[in-house]
Structure 1
């Protein structure tokens, strides 16, 4: 009954839209990803694009525009026509972009507005198979006993891998050396080879790394164990009193008319209710499948911007 009621509300919302929104889109929609193909954000964007293509009258095409810690893609979308045909698909790293790129040509928080938050998932704490610890507590003890001895991989520039490592070190009271990579994939390759000791990866790809035997998953960063891997403890269970969820969201130019945003949101509600889509998200490590309204998304992202900008700014002052 609840599902039928929700679908009814969506149908009413679509009927109430002006004619321009009812004909949207009239050409292919570009879903712009700030990172290289094959990464977690790209994978998520392709899941969404394929599903949206089934409910919209036009195809949805993923376009990768990496560079500048995500600023290249953000600027491209912010300067695009605000007609809903060019949309940014980004993750939690969007929340720190102003700190990471202080002299950027645009303000990504002011010039891009969330359309909807789509998913939440934890980071996975991946430890090299060669590291002399059998679980997360032993890993913490070893790293605490040797400050600055061990290396961790990140994508630098405020990516989620580095954000998780920063929060982890700050909370756990440990110090490790950051080794920046161009993406999560090469960092994971070096982890599998034993060249570095630790990588925090988004569950969407991190759980696959652990299941494939390239590294061991010692913890997840969410508030609870992940349904996709209930055998992996949380940060708090291994003695790290913190939590972090990575969200994925759609953004459009701030000037995008509300009816266009509402039309996009209505399409997302439809695909997120599809059993096949929800099953795919779960298989990829998503803990919560969402379709927040634009207003809810604004508040959601604003809270994370406040949290992460403060943490990143403090870290840069040290």
Structure 2
């Protein structure tokens, strides 16, 4: 009943928007992703783009604009015409852009507005198959006994891999060596080869890595176990006093008229309420499938910005 009600409300929202917004979209919509094709964020963007393309009169095309920890894509969208035809698809890393790229030409928090939070999922603690520990508690004990000996993969402080690792090390007081990578895929390859001991990856791809036997999933970072991998304990269960969920969201230039934002949100709510896309998200490791309204989404992002900007070290 809840899903049917959500679908009905979304349909009513589409009818309620002013006539000016009813012409949107009148050409293909670009969904800009700050990361490389094939990565977790890109996969999520393509799931949404395919679904939206089935309910909108125009196609939704994913466009990858990589660089500067996501700021290149953010600036591109912020400077685009505020007409709902150029959107940004990003995740929790958006919350630290101002810290990671402090002298950027735009303020990504003020100049980009979230139209909807789409999902929440954990990060997965992936440990190399050859590492001498059988579970998360043994891993912590081994790292504690030999500080500075082992390496972890990261995409830097501005990516979710680095954010999860930073929170993990702060919460445990452990010492490991950061090995930087240009993306999660090469970090995972080195993990599978045993060249590094640890990688944090978003559940969307991290659980597939574990299920494929390339590494072992020792924990998820969410408050509860993931429905996609109920056998994997949480951080707190293995002794890490912290939690983290990764969200994905769609942003528009802040000057985008409210009726267009409402029409876009209605389309997103419509597809997010379908059983098919909910099943697809769940299979990809998403714990909560959402379609929060713009005002609620803005408050959500601001809270996360305040949290992460307080944790992140200033850029050098």
| TM more than 0.5 | yes
Give the superposition deviation at 1:157: 4.2
Q: Distance in 2 between matches of 1:289 and 1:7?
A: 14
CA distance in 2: counterparts of 1:240 and 1:10, whole angstroms = 40
Distance of 2:181 and 2:6 partners within structure 1: 43
Whether the 8 Å contact between 2:120 and 2:245 is mirrored in structure 1 is: yes
Match of 1:91 in 2: 91
Q: Deviations over 1:43-95 (max 9, x none)?
A: 00000000000000000000000000000000000000000000000000000
Query: Aligned partners of 1:248, 1:309: CA distance in 2, in Å?
Result: 18
1:33 matched residue in structure 2: 33
Tell me how far apart the structure 1 counterparts of residues 246 and 85 of structure 2 sit (CA, whole Å).
25
Mapping 1:215-230, distance limit 5 Å: 215-230=215-230
Aligned equivalents of 2:106, 2:13: Cα separation in 1: 33
Question: C-alpha offsets along residues 227-265 of structure 1, whole Å, 9 cap, x if unaligned?
Answer: 000000000000001100000000000000111111111
Task: Write out aligned runs for 1:246-265 (5 A).
Answer: 246-265=246-265
Equivalent residues in 2 for 1:90-129 (5 A)?
A: 90-129=90-129
Matching of residues 172-191 of structure 1 within 5 Å: 172-191=172-191
Q: What is the distance in 2 between the residues matched to 1:281 and 1:223?
A: 19
Deviations 1:208-243 (A, max 9, x none): 000000000000000000000000000000000110
Correspondence for 1:73:
73
Q: Secondary structure at the match of 2:279?
A: helix
What is the distance in 2 between the residues matched to 1:85 and 1:30?
6
Tell me which residue corresponds to 2:3.
3
Change (3 A) 1:3 1:275: closer
For residue 204 of structure 1, what is the aligned residue in structure 2? 204
* Alignment check: 8 A CA contact 2:123 2:220 kept: yes
What is aligned with 1:231? 231
Q: Distance in 2 between matches of 1:115 and 1:148?
A: 43
- Cα deviation, residue 4, structure 1: 3.5
Q: Does 1:21 align with 2:21?
A: yes
Gaps of 5+ in 1: none
Partner of 2:42: 42
Give, in angstroms, the shift of residue 274 of structure 1. Answer: 1.4
Cα drift, residue 276 of structure 1: 1.2
CA contact (8 A) 2:14 2:267 kept: no
Gaps of 5+ in 2: none
CA–CA separation in structure 2 for the residues paired with 1:194 and 1:2: 46
**What secondary structure, in the 3-state scheme, does the structure 2 residue paired with 1:43 have?**
helix
What is the RMSD of the two structures over their aligned residues, measured on CA atoms? 1.1
**What is residue 241 of structure 1 aligned with on the other side?**
241
Please list, as runs of the form range in 1=range in 2, the aligned pairs for 1:296-307 lying within 5 A after superposition. Answer: 296-307=296-307
After superposition, what is the alpha-carbon deviation per residue over 1:147-188, rounded to whole angstroms, capped at 9, x for unaligned?
111100011141000000000000011011100000000000
Runs of 4 or more above 4 Å deviation: none
Is contact 2:11-2:270 (8 Å) kept?
Answer: no
